[in-house]
Amino acid sequence: MLVGNFIDGDSRVQKEARSAAAAGWDTYLVGRSYTGKREESELGAVTVVRAAETMAATRYRSSHPHRRGVKGLIAYSSQDVSRVKHQRQRLRQMDLAAERELLARRISAGAGPFAALFGKAGLTTSGTLVRARGYWVAARKRAFDTNYQSAQQAPSSAFERMLAKRGGDTSSWDVQPRLIDFEDSFGRVADQLEPDVIHANDAEMLGVAVRAAARARAKGRKVAVVYDSHEYTAGDVRPEDVTWAPVMFAQERKYIAAADGVVAAVDNFADKLVEHHKLTVRPTVVRNMPEASTFTVAGGKEPGVRGHLGLGPEATILVYPGAVTPIRGLDTAVRALPKLADTHLVLMVASRGGYVAELVTLAGELGVADRFHVLDYVPVEELTDFIASATIGIDTLRRIPTQELTITTKYWSYIGARLPVVVSDVKAAGALTRELGNGEVFEVDDVDALVRAVRAVASDRERYAAVYTDEMLAAHSWEGQVPALLALYAQVSGLTPEPVETSAD
């Protein structure tokens, strides 16, 4: 199993890997390494391999940004060249002072008039040339700095993006160099392990898997490829990286026909894959629901998030575990806090930098910093019980195609934790919430509507939580999803291993 992240926060790939191992597959879950060096560990019966990564292509592109505009014509080619040229110019200017001092010493020591004259003339010429070069170096450095800053917002040119959309690997690698690094590191591991099945999670791993399978077949080994679409790639929007979605869609379009089986995280994604790529077989839907072993009682078995924060039963706690980006709409929840007395908002995140830090600043400006809490992730197997002591689980998605169609992993976790929900009225989540009756729906980005929804659920929480019967939870468990995944493995590989006996641990 290949996944282009660090594995730790990815509940889906962890559950898939553990389920495959329990079914008798010799399972290797391959992800990124925090250190850049190859690391191995165990996840139950799963061998976790964190591939060695130099990230050479990504680093090169970062320090050699695409040149743009007139300034791009004179900008230095790389960050290193810019730094070295600027450093040398500073040293030349400093050296002039030393040359003046040495000339003055020679004159005072009795140098002849001609020697003094030529020395002064030479120094004047050198100084003029150094100053002229300084203007040129400064202009090229300023041009590079401008170019570099522009590249942080739009790393690729319009021409490069046009080529990437056509699906060529060379152009895709130009605008998304991490694909080269993934191929170099993950492809190497796939070759070494000689698998029967390669399960590629998301489009960035699809090309890696297909090429590894092709190399294996060239050596006489049969390798099946399963593509697992976690997101609606064609409808993804990443303002921080405008080329990511079109390149990933191009990769998906190019390689999906070479996959022996396709999996989608929700029904809507499966339908879109059929629509976009003219698939003759609808993808197998494997929803990222929590394992039944993680289900808990109302309020949780442990003090959980409420106990962790030292809050009493009277406090209303809104909880959100997962990725935090502007498109997730969490600033709407922060802006609602001033209107919700004795209400606390808790984010559980992998990193406290970036947009999370911006939300912390916003909470301070609004005077609610004491009711806005940022916590670390907890292990997947502990998540549902940890959040069960909260009052409401929230999902404040904004309107982009992929978010209109998805049911997020956290939504299934809220069900496992028996938490009522408040969600924005994106298509899929809004419809499911109305169908289940487990919460309220508010209009996207409407702070007042979010406030009303929270008050409605908090004032009658027991009614919303009453839908979480044991039968309802059983219907929303990971165990109900596993048979379809294992059947797909058997179908594409022609292999059915013997299930292994596992302990309660």
Q: Are residues 329 and 205 in the same domain?
A: no
Q: What is the CATH number of the domain that holds 308?
A: 3.40.50.2000
Q: Is the dihedral of CA 30, 35, 38, 39 positive or negative?
A: negative
Q: Are residues 194 and 230 in the same domain?
A: yes
What is residue 69's predicted lDDT score, i.e. its pLDDT? Answer: 73
Token digits of residue 366: 């609004």
Token digits of residue 487: 């059947």
Taking CA atoms, 199 is separated from 185, 262, 334, 357, in Å, by: 16, 9, 38, 35
Domain boundary among 285, 317, 350: 285
Residue 78 lies in a domain: no
What is residue 297's predicted lDDT score, i.e. its pLDDT? Answer: 93
**Burial (CB count within 10 angstroms: exposed 0-12, middle 13-18, buried 19+), residue 228:** buried
* Nearest residue to 233 via CA among 214, 256, 212, 210: 256
Residue 112 lies in a domain: yes
Spell out the alpha helix ranges (H) of 219-266. 244-255
Q: Are residues 397 and 312 in the same domain?
A: yes
Q: Are residues 121 and 187 in the same domain?
A: no
What is the rounded CA–CA span in Å between residue 189 and residue 154? Answer: 32
- 325-349: b or e for each residue (b if 16 or more CB lie within 10 Å)? eebbbbbbbbbbbeebeebbbbbbb
Which strand ranges, in their side-by-side order, compose the sheet holding 343-349?
Answer: 372-376, 343-349, 316-321, 392-395, 421-424, 439-442
Q: Are 392 and 454 in contact (CB under 8 A)?
A: yes
Residue 65 lies in a domain: no
List, for residues 254-296, the tens digit of each pLDDT value: 999 999 999 999 999 999 999 999 999 999 999 999 999 999 9
Token digits of residue 317: 């706690």
What is the rounded CA–CA span in Å between residue 287 and residue 381? Answer: 17
Q: What is the DSSP string of 208-228?
A: HHHHHHHHHHHTT---EEEEE
Residue 20 lies in a domain: yes
Q: Are residues 134 and 167 in the same domain?
A: no
Q: Are residues 141 and 207 in the same domain?
A: no
Q: Are residues 114 and 188 in the same domain?
A: no
Residue 224 lies in a domain: yes
Q: Are residues 131 and 170 in the same domain?
A: no
75: how many CB neighbours lie within 10 A of its CB? Answer: 24
CA atoms within 13 A on the CB side of 256: 28
392 SS3 class: strand
| Domain count along the chain | 3
345 SS3 class: strand
Q: Are residues 354 and 402 in the same domain?
A: yes
What is the rounded CA–CA span in Å between residue 392 and residue 345? Answer: 10
List, for residues 82-141, the tens digit of each pLDDT value: 899 999 998 988 888 888 888 888 888 887 888 888 888 988 998 899 999 999 999 999
Range of the domain at 131: 98-154
Residue 485 lies in a domain: no
Residue 72 lies in a domain: no
Q: What's at 482, amino acid-wise?
A: V
List, for the chain, all residue ranges whose pLDDT scores fall below the cut of 50. 504-505
Domain boundary among 231, 266, 285: 285
What is the rounded CA–CA span in Å between residue 161 and residue 172? Answer: 8
What is the rounded CA–CA span in Å between residue 27 and residue 49? Answer: 10
Q: Are residues 228 and 302 in the same domain?
A: no
Q: How far apart are the first and last CA of the chain?
A: 23
What is residue 505's predicted lDDT score, i.e. its pLDDT? Answer: 46
Token digits of residue 83: 């730094």
What is the rounded CA–CA span in Å between residue 349 and residue 371? Answer: 17
Torsion of CA 247, 250, 254, 255, to 10 degrees: 50
Q: Is the dihedral of CA 374, 375, 380, 383 positive or negative?
A: negative
Residue 475 lies in a domain: yes
What is the rounded CA–CA span in Å between residue 348 and residue 317? Answer: 13
Give the list of residues 6+ apart from residue 196 with CB closer than 8 angstroms, or none.
Answer: 222, 223, 224, 493, 495
Q: Are 30 and 1 in contact (CB under 8 A)?
A: yes
Q: Are residues 339 and 436 in the same domain?
A: yes
E strand or H helix at 41: strand 39-43
Q: Are residues 411 and 324 in the same domain?
A: yes
What is the rounded CA–CA span in Å between residue 426 and residue 362? Answer: 25
What is residue 165's predicted lDDT score, i.e. its pLDDT? Answer: 67
Q: Tokens 């046009």 sit at which residue? A: 162
